[in-house]
Structure 1
Amino acid sequence: MSVGQTTSTVVERTSWIPMVGLFLAQILMSFNVSALPVSLGGMVADFGVPPTSVSTAIVTYGLVVAALVMVGAKLGQRIGWIIMFRIVVALFAVSALLMILAQTVTWVIVAQAFAGASAAIIVPSLVALIAENYRGAQQATAIGSLGSARALAGVSAFLVGGTLATFVGWRPVFGIVLALAVAVFLFSFRLRSDAGDPEVKIDLVAAVLIGGGIVALTLGFNNLNGWGLFQAEAAAPFDVLGLSPAPLLIVLGLVLGQAFLLWTSRRTAVGRVPLVSLAVLGSVRERAAVYAMFIVVSLEAALNFTVPLYIQIVQGRTAFDTSLAMMPFNLTVFVTATLVVRLYSRFRPRTIGMVGFGLTTIALLWLAFVVTNDWETLPTILGLFVFGVGQGALVTLVFNVLVTASPKELAGDVGSIRGTTQNLASAVGTAVAGALLVTILGVNVGAAVAERVELPPELVSQVDLDSVNFVSNEQLRTALEETTDATPEQVDAAVDVNTQARLSALKLGLLAMAAVSALAILPASRLPGYRPHEVPDPSPSRSR
């Protein structure tokens, strides 16, 4: 079937009940991730650790998913999607129990590692099971529902989770995760799936290359601030001729990623089964979709980390306040992700993609100029609303492009590409946002301290004001008042420096995010120029 042709085949409609289980599985994973920033303040208070330690748990989840999802796809093909799906959903329930019973932040990190290992198989399972249970328009709707499920999970986590974390505690939030895992397990018995193929082989060399590359990239980005951007800091585990290991790990990750692509290409060329079929990225359109997906998920992760950081840690407000502040964004993402599918018959993916990134760029620029220390002002809500429209449309769109451009037998590979991209992007977005904001904050405070004559070096050294992280004004005021020689004027001056430096860091961070969003319009311009009903036949022969 060529471009411009429409299909006249009548596709038998299938019950939506099996899709309920897949929809809840996506909510399960997304709710778990969204619940972590909501629970940030409670975990910091319970475990007595800085917020960056809790963000390590978020990064750990994304790292494990991204590192193992390609292997997870092959395990699903070899053993059978349904069997593996049920096993890992049960493991996700175990991770929720660990979160509920956690005694230290180490428990939280281990629990999120288990959750990530489970999601590494759930992610490709969702795509494969949709491909096996639904066809035609139902398949497009089912794919679109995964995007809306992510957004719904975000809304639920920030609203329900924020309320529980504020008035009951953060642990019951993960009781919801446990209940969702049980529900998904029960619904899985309504799904049908082909039996596994024991002949499927797992390319261990490729698994080590891509896994090692993702681990190196994530660790490098996550420790740019702590280990040093260029020169090694005292906290760095080692140095190479005085250089920080963080940027070196990033370079190593990029090298291993290239080695993975070369190895996979050569293995495919000699007729051997690769870890993931690069036919999924066989054209510039599919590669553009992956680039666009990485950027939009990175921006979403950065925003989802930044807002709770400022509201709960900087402003010292509750998780419920966080849920209210994020509600315009999450609710808009949910509605847009649900409705954008209806635009596919009228507008080309290229048009939707470029408009989507245009909206996110405008929204971030707007926020950079209007944001204040109060997240509930109308201009701020408007900026979050516009960003949510663009983000919701983009996440669903780029995923749909990948699925519709590939044949059913490559559904697992599409799922693994999606999982690797989204979770690596989430980990990198969170890590870079934290490193960028803390770096800007440190520069701002250092410059402000040098200009304020009422803050003598002796006072600055007593409270480590020149070696800052994100703290609330109340925490800073308490630390200053415990010194023996801080006058009320000096306390007020230090608090003012802290307030202005944080706000400036936030504005510059949003400007940096806007620049990345603007650059993403380029890959969006490479998205397909045809509508879904005009899509060429995605058969294996097209890539030969």
Structure 2
Amino acid sequence: MRSDGRGRWFGLLAISLGVAMIIVDATIVNVAVPQIIRDLDITSTDAQWVQEAYTLVFASLLLVAGRFADRSGRRRMFVTGVSVFVVASVLAAVAGSGEALIGARVLQGIGGAMMLPTSLSLLNANFTGRERGIAFAVWGSTIGGAAALGPLLGGWLTTTYSWRWAFGINVPVSLAVIVGTLLLVAESRDDRAERGVDLVGALLSVVGMTGVVFALIEGRTYGWWERERPFSLFGLDWTASISPVPVAALAGLAALGVFLAQQIRRNRAGRPALLDLSLFGIRSFRTGILAAAIVSLGEFGLLFALPLWFQNVLGYSAFRTGLALLPLAVGSFLASGIGAPLTQRWGAARVVQLGVAAELVGVAGLGLVVAPDTRWWAPVAFLFVYGIGVGLATAQLTGVSLAEVPVRRSGQGSGLQSTARQVGSAFGIAVLGTVLFAGLGGLLGDRLADQPGLDPAGRDQVVTAVKESAGAAITGLAADPRTAPIAEEAKGAFSDATRYAAFTAAGFLLIGLLACLRLGERRGPRLTHSVEAGAPVNT
């Protein structure tokens, strides 16, 4: 960043604003889907792809984008990503069909993948010492806060204006990010990078990550083994009885296996490779990305279940659901202020452990208060503690992972760390989604077993309707006096299933906390200064 202090921090603000934009867009569409379905007259399958095409492409390209940023220039890659993102946002805002909107979301995913790992490597390359710890704290809290603010912003824009503004708002934000980055952020790159491009490695990486992430995201929808609903891609229908999920998973794992073998050969031969395997010889990096992947299993998965519970059980509007999640964002942003002093006093590893422990307490506490008659204030404290934990753990775990990564390879290190978190998050959402809906089906079936006037066929029909609608059918059941008792049973079953999902997330976080105990115990200044040799320097 520019050498003057004020410019340095305004540059951090520009980068953080760009990161907030791509994280918000991962969640902002969730609350706008009903209006999108009505306005564009699309199917539920199309609507699902509107939500998930972005996440799928985003996760698949993180590693490739981080590596190419080291070679071509990190600021250039970041600004290019923002430019792609804003063009895609305009296309999404004016989309006249489901296909156009899905295509725009794919393009948004490409832009987002160019931005996220590059934002980390820019901070790692341009901040040093205590300032780097503060910069990572701001970056980490931005991610946690933006994830919680997405539903609030999406609910407000959709309710007050139109779902199109959920994308249109990115235009002025992107322009501000581009101008701020070009004026205030210095360029950096790996000037010693080998000539040549590992195109085969890039292709294998993308194919492998796409297959694995698709399987994790879509397993609950299309079936983990047998196909449970129609599937089509680019106009081609999947007609086999087996689900496309295990086929995609197998193809993805095979591609990743070939990718790893190819990378080992290229590294041994000294040829340009997408993946620098020497990074895994750095203990803090190796342990840090493993801990990040495990923590991510439980970190944001619950944000998939909570909005559904708020809206379909407690009857909240989309905007009120966003307000209910606001304490999480407040806690996350507050953590950016206390994270750096705590790191200087206790060391980054201890702060990570404190953050994950706070997440564990918050998530487990939410599981305890979830009920059909929960009052609005009951989840507030636990969401706030949850947010504090996210802000502390995300920022400092990132700092620990990249602490000893040479600056010239920070783009690749950031890409690996971001990829580990995204795959962990996708796996966590897949598991929690399965727990939520499998639990909902079983619990509701048991509750309706003795329901007067409801035969087995009718019971199965109700259970299927509630599961397929992710709980939205409860509102219609409650509106009819004849089915109101069934709606009450459905609310109870949905609450119990949400509680099980919360406790499952808490279990993941407990495993993540145990993994974080392996992180080094060196104190903050030593964990915030990367050097070429990979050894930390006292500041």
Give the TM-score, by structure 1 length.
Answer: 0.86
| Deviation for aligned residue 1:344 | 1.1
Q: For 1:66 and 1:254, locate their aligned partners in 2 and report how far apart those are by CA, in whole Å.
A: 15
Is 1:312–2:305 an aligned residue pair?
Answer: no
Residues 165-184 of structure 1: pairs in structure 2 closer than 5 A: 165-184=158-177
For 1:192, the equivalent position in structure 2 comes to 186
Whether 1:407 and 2:402 are equivalent positions in the alignment is: no
Measure, in 1, the Cα distance between the counterparts of 2:276 and 2:194. 16
CA distance in 2 between counterparts of 1:248 and 1:397 reads: 37
1:33 to 18, 22, 26: 26
- SS of equivalent to 1:344: helix
Q: Would you say 1:82 and 2:70 are equivalent positions?
A: no
Structure 2 residue 107 is matched with structure 1 residue 119: no
**CA–CA separation in structure 2 for the residues paired with 1:351 and 1:82:** 32
Deviations 1:435-490 (A, max 9, x none): 43222222223333334343113534666747732224232356xx6xxxxxx55x
Q: TM-score, normalised by structure 2?
A: 0.86
Deviates more, 1:325-334 or 1:384-393: 384-393
Indicate the residue corresponding to 2:132 in structure 1: 139
Question: Does the alignment pair 1:73 with 2:74?
Answer: no
CA distance in 1, matches of 2:464, 2:189: 61
SS of corresponding position for 2:29: helix
Matched, 1:220 2:215: yes
Distance 1:137 1:215 in 2: 38
Give the Å deviation of 1:519. 1.3
> 1:513 pairs with 492, 496, 505, which one?
505
CA shift digits 1:13-47 (9 cap, x unpaired): 57323333212221221222232234344335545
Q: Aligned with 1:144: secondary structure?
A: helix
Q: CA deviation at 1:273?
A: 2.4
Kept after mapping to 2: 8 A contact 1:66/1:420 = yes
Paired positions, count:
523
Report the alpha carbon displacement of residue 110 of structure 1 after superposing the two structures with TM: 2.1
Matches within 5 A, 1:500-539: 500-535=492-527, 538-539=530-531
Partner of 1:333: 332
Larger CA deviation: 459-468 vs 166-175: 459-468
Find the counterpart in structure 2 of residue 448 from structure 1: 447
| One-letter identity of the residue aligned with 1:213 | G
Residues 281-300 of structure 1 correspond to what in structure 2 (within 5 A)? 281-300=280-299
Q: After superposition, where does 1:215-294 map in structure 2 within 5 Å?
A: 215-235=210-230, 244-294=243-293
Q: What amino acid sits opposite 1:324 in the alignment?
A: L
User: How far 1:316 moved relative to its partner?
Assistant: 4.9
- For residues 329-478 of structure 1, the aligned pairs below 5 Å read 329-373=328-372, 376-460=375-459, 465=464, 468-469=467-468, 470=470, 471-476=472-477
Structure 1, 190-199 or 266-275: larger mean CA deviation: 190-199
Closer, same or farther: CA 535–468 of 1 in aligned 2, 3 Å: closer
Question: How far does residue 193 in structure 1 lie from its aligned partner after superposition?
Answer: 1.2
Counterpart amino acid of residue 491 in structure 2: T
Structure 2: gaps (5+ residues): 232-236
Displacement of 1:48 after TM fit?
Answer: 5.8
**SS of residue matched to 2:196:** coil
CA contact (8 A) 1:349 1:527 kept: no
Q: C-alpha displacement at 1:309, in angstroms? A: 2.1
Deviation of 1:530 (Å):
0.6
How many percent identity over aligned positions?
24
User: What is the aligned partner in structure 2 of residue 6 from structure 1?
Assistant: none
Match of 1:207 in 2: 202
Tell me by how many angstroms 1:129 deviates: 2.8
Query: What is the rounded CA distance, in whole Å, between the counterparts of 2:47 and 2:519 in structure 1?
Result: 37
Tell me the distance in 2 between the aligned counterparts of 1:171 and 1:410: 39
Q: Alignment partner of 1:379: what SS?
A: coil
The letter for the 2-side match of 1:31 is V
CA, structure 1 residues 477+380, in 2 after alignment: closer, same or farther (shift >3 Å)? closer
1:361 CA displacement: 2.2
Residue in 2 aligned with 1:485?
Answer: none
The separation in 1 between residues aligned to 2:360 and 2:155, in whole angstroms, is 28
1:309-340: CA deviation from partner (whole Å, max 9, x where unpaired)? 22335555322111111011111112113421
Tell me, in whole angstroms, the C-alpha distance in 1 between the residues paired with 2:43 and 2:503: 26
Task: State the shift of 1:118 in Å.
Answer: 0.8
- How far apart are residue 271 of structure 1 and its match? 1.4
Q: For the residues of structure 2 that align with 1:431 and 1:107, how far apart are their CA atoms?
A: 27
Higher mean C-alpha deviation, range 373-382 or range 458-467: 458-467
Distance 1:79 1:161 in 2: 35
Hey, what does 1:484 align to over in structure 2? Answer: none
Task: Measure the CA separation in 2 of the matches of 1:396 and 1:536.
Answer: 12
Amino acid at match of 2:432: A
Distance in structure 2 (CA, Å) of the matches to 1:434 and 1:51: 17
| Secondary structure at 2:520 match in 1 | coil
Q: Call closer, same or farther: CA 1:536–1:427 in 2, change over 3 Å.
A: closer
Separation of aligned partners in 2, 1:203 and 1:44: 41
Aligned-partner Cα distance in 1 for 2:519–2:500: 30
Counterparts in 2 of 1:135 and 1:324: CA distance versus 1, 3 Å: same
Larger mean CA deviation between 34-43 and 182-191 belongs to 34-43
Matched, 1:148 2:141: yes
Please identify, of 492-501 and 429-438, the stretch whose mean Cα deviation from structure 2 is larger.
429-438
8 Å Cα contact 2:359/2:509 also seen in 1: yes
Assess, with a 3 A threshold, how the Cα gap between structure 1 residues 466 and 70 changes in structure 2: closer, same or farther.
Answer: closer
Aligned mates of 1:430, 1:208 — CA distance in 2: 26
Deviation track 1:344-383 (CA, whole Å, cap 9, x = no partner) reads: 1111333223332222223222222221235653332122
Match of 1:497 in 2: 489
**How many angstroms does 1:116 deviate by?**
1.2
Q: Is the 8 A contact 1:285 1:526 kept in 2?
A: no
Aligned to 1:96: 89
1:228–1:95 Cα change, 3 Å: same
Task: Select between 400-409 and 271-280 the one with higher mean Cα deviation.
Answer: 271-280
Change (3 A) 1:127 1:514: closer
Residues of 1 paired with 2:393 and 2:417: CA distance? Answer: 13
Distance 2:76 2:534 in 1: 32
Distance in 2 between residues matched to 1:436 and 1:52, nearest whole Å: 21
CA contact (8 A) 1:442 1:466 kept: no
Displacement, 1:93? 0.8
Native 8 Å contact 2:66 2:117 kept in 1: yes
- Cα pair 1:59 1:427 within 8 Å, conserved: no
Measured in 2, the distance between the counterparts of 1:419 and 1:200 equals 25
Q: 8 Å contact 2:349–2:397 — kept in the other structure?
A: no
Superposition map of 1:45-84 within 5 A? 45-47=38-40, 54-84=47-77
- Of 85-94 and 231-240, more deviation after overlay is shown by 231-240
For the Cα contact (< 8 Å) 2:144–2:390, is it kept in 1? no
Query: What corresponds to 1:3 in structure 2?
Result: none
